[in-house]
Amino acid sequence: MNIKKPLFILAASFMICACATKTENPFYSEFQTPFGTPPFEQIKMEHYEPAFTKGMAEQNEIIASIVNNPEAPTFENTIVALDNSSPILNRVSAVFYGLTGAETNDSLTALSMKLAPVMSEHSDNIMLNAGLFERINAVYQQKDSLNLTTEQQRLLDQTYKSFVRSGANLNDEQQARLREINKQLSTLGLTFSNNLLNTDNEYQLFVENEEELSGLPEWFRQSAAEEAKAAGKEGQWMFTLRNASRLPLLQYADNRDLREKIFTAYINRGNNGDKNDNKEIITQVVKLRLEKAKMLGYNNYANFVLDNTMAKNSDAVMDFLNNLWQYALPKAKNEATELQAMMDKEGKGEKLEGWDWWYYTEKLRKEKYSLDEEQIKPYFQIENVRDGAFSVANKLYGINFTPIEGISTYHPDVDVFEVTDADGSHIGIFYVDFFPRPGKRFGAWMSSFRKQQGETRPLIYNVCNFTKPIGDTPSLLTLDEVETLYHELGHGLHGLLSNCQYYGVSGTSVARDFVELPSQINEHWSMKPEVLKMYAKHYQTGEVIPDSLINKILNQSTFNQGFMTTELLAAALLDMNLHNLTEIDDNLDVVEFENEAMKNLGLISQIPPRYRTTYFNHIIGGYAAGYYSYLWANVLDNDAFEAFEENGIFDQETARKFRQNVLERGGSEDPMVLYKQFRGADPNIDAMLKNRGMK
């Protein structure tokens, strides 16, 4: 998953300023550190709010100078000036919102709630500034005669459209209402996410009797014991809703009641009628979004969002998703039949439920492929997996990742690397933050403390929630976690290798349904035999993973793909159904709506959507009417990787074309144009269906 910066941060350049004194707010000028990295040891809680205030004032002054410029509007004095209008805001926002995701606390949370409506108002003051839009429009109307480069044309188009889509053409009354909607949405979104984080942190499932842990691997028992000890319950075992705790419990626990408890708690997040309940919040969100979309000339929110993507409209997305559904659901039903047959053999008379799926899937994997994930985890020590992913990037693009000391971090778990090109030139700084903790939100994502722009090099970070080391045992990853590490590094490469002139189109500032291509294609290398032999080494013996295990991994590559594809599709269709609404009743019950939508799809009861409405954080953030993007990008990444398989997975010419046409170009050109420049043809869905075992 990729996190974008808040919408109010329009753009910025990173100009060299006078060195800050020890007493000055560190955000007020460029960080005087190696590579301009944030000096986390100097940043205090009391620095954030004044920096936001000063940053807004600075941007307002720059906006006023653009509007009051007596010279005729030009690309440079209007579009570029706006692109460079928020240096302080960019610095403080990058750090502040980075920490509210990865290392939050009560003070940061409270300030984020306080700032949300203020930042929304600041953004609206810019986007609804009539004088500013008049100058932007003047440049836009003469764009065909300006001899702009492709990147300049793209920045101009995106700037103009963002103002129109933000209400610049609305009347005063409509703009006033739009401002109020934006303020409400900013606060509701934060409340939703905070409720979810609170729910996740508060849930603790304790086990007192070791007999109830039957089936759990020893490493997992030790981890649960350490969690319980940290919670003041030494001698017990504690399980949480985080993937590193929940999924192994569902996979291995013979105790069906335990599996049911953790499963039920997870799928009811935000839906418990308590202080962290999200039902009313999501209802308000979808209603306000629909009102906003209609105000801006769209019949529903989905069409408003998709007008600015590769898909262009809701009909195209629904056709795509429904086409995939006809392949995925039958495969999932066949898998359910296999699992039920396995349960029937046990003679207990039990019927397959959602909390049984992971458990019996693991048993079936052993039976069909003689593969137990416990056999392969010892070969996936996190440091080796990470270095293997770095080696793949080196073989493809010639870049190097070198550990670097002396760079300040926001938590001891964070490691830092300097990234250099084949000629030794500096590319950027890369932070990795791999382990879960109470202040970190679920999931995995990439973002930046500074984007690439011209000669300014990026500061990129990956945040994940992988299994933590236990005692003398290092962090050992599952197959899914290995692919997640490669996925997030793919996003990282998109940010690191960006080579754009303008901030507003650099790095991952691309269409939502294109941004997952770099991440998802990078996953393909992780399980290739020649790559596995580079990094998969037993953490105790150093033995390279044997061919017998590699073959088992490859043989089961399409195993359980009906489940995986169906739960993902169900979430994408739920997202679209919510945002395709053209009318919303005041009494909308989002849970009932979800249940009816899944019933109409024919989704089997054992598979809930990957994200249910009350904990669907993606659609509260940047993926509203956009969760389909993972599947659309899966078409692109499978089709694109075929080019590597046709020419050799480390073919230098293919890698060069991908770097130059995708990774370096950001949003400086239409994404389909960039894709076809790399591939030489439109994307084909066949490779995706084949790799998911559906064709």
Estimate the share of the chain in helix, then strand, then coil, as percent rounded to the nearest 5: 60, 5, 35
Distance CA 338, CA 308 (A): 43
Sheet of strand 426-433: strand arrangement: 400-403, 415-420, 426-433, 459-463, 445-450
pLDDT for 271: 98
Distance CA 399, CA 421 (A): 4
pLDDT for 519: 98
Distance CA 498, CA 3 (A): 16
Residue reference for tokens 């009906």: 562
Confidence of residue 502 (pLDDT cuts 50, 70, 90): very high
Confidence of residue 373 (pLDDT cuts 50, 70, 90): confident
Q: What is the per-residue pLDDT across 619-650, written as a single tens digit (0 to 9) for each?
A: 998 899 999 999 999 999 999 999 999 999 99
Alpha helix locations (H) across 103-129? 106-127
Q: Calculate ∠ Cα 640-646-647, nearest 5°.
A: 100
pLDDT for 1: 43
Distance CA 660, CA 392 (A): 17
DSSP string for residues in 325-384: HHHHHHHHHHHHHHHHHHHHHTTS-PPP-HHHHHHHHHHHHHHHH---HHHHGGG-BHHH
Using alpha carbons, select from 297, 268, 64, 78 the residue that is nearest to residue 178.
297
Instruction: Give all domains of the chain, ordered by start, each with its CATH number.
Output: 26-169 (1.20.1050.40), 203-267 (no CATH), 378-555+629-691 (1.10.1370.40)
Note whether 335 and 694 are within 8 A (CB): no
Q: What is the per-residue pLDDT across 92-145, written as a single tens digit (0 to 9) for each?
A: 999 999 999 999 999 999 999 999 999 999 999 999 999 999 999 999 999 999
Distance CA 573, CA 314 (A): 11
Q: What is the per-residue pLDDT across 458-500, written as a single tens digit (0 to 9) for each?
A: 999 999 999 899 989 999 999 999 999 999 999 999 999 999 9
Phi-psi region of 641 (alpha: psi -120 to 50; beta: other; left: phi over 0): alpha
User: How far apart, in Å, are the Cα atoms of 374 and each of 197, 343, 364, 380?
Assistant: 30, 22, 14, 11
Note whether 310 and 669 are within 8 A (CB): no
Distance CA 303, CA 282 (A): 19
Most distant CA pair in the chain, distance: 85
Mean pLDDT across the stretch 6-22?
A: 33
Mean pLDDT across the stretch 294-307?
A: 98
Note whether 55 and 28 are within 8 A (CB): no
What is the three-class DSSP state of 432?
A: strand
pLDDT for 222: 95
pLDDT at residue 16 is higher than 50 = no
pLDDT at residue 22 is higher than 70 = no
Q: Considering the entire predicted model, what is its pTM?
A: 0.94
| Summary mean pLDDT of the chain | 95
pLDDT for 23: 59
Mean pLDDT across the stretch 55-64?
A: 98
Q: Exposure pattern of 622-645 as b/e (b: 16+ CB <10 Å)?
A: bbbbbbbbbbbbbbbbbbbbbbbe
- Check if 455 is active-site: no
* Residue from 30, 335, 362, 488 carrying the catalytic annotation: 488
Classify the C-alpha dihedral 288-83-446-561 as positive or negative: positive
pLDDT for 20: 37
